[in-house]
Amino acid sequence: MVTFQFDDETAARLQELAKAAGAANVEDYIKLVIATPRPTTDKFDPKEFDRELEPLLFDGPSLPADFSREDIYFDHD
């Protein structure tokens, strides 16, 4: 047996989801979620990947074109 500990907010959300799914309790809900097959695809869509990745990209200044290792280690031998 495995025991999970959740913060109060997560526990309350799990209880809501269990009730909405018609499960008797959170344990039964988790079993239901695990047992339910999820659609999978082996197709990779690079455009979709770019759309999902875009919010995570750094929106700051880029490094100069001539940036080198010496720029990092200028004060080392």
pTM above 0.75, yes or no: no
64, part of any domain: no
Question: Which structural domain range is residue 36 located in?
Answer: 1-57
15, part of any domain: yes
67, part of any domain: no
If one counts the domains in the chain, the total is 1
In whole angstroms, what is the distance from residue 77 CA to residue 73 CA? Answer: 8
| CB-CB contact of 14 with 6 (8 Å) | yes
Tens digit of pLDDT for each residue in 12-53? 999 999 999 999 999 999 999 999 888 777 788 889 888 888
In whole angstroms, what is the distance from residue 45 CA to residue 41 CA? Answer: 10
40, part of any domain: yes
75, part of any domain: no
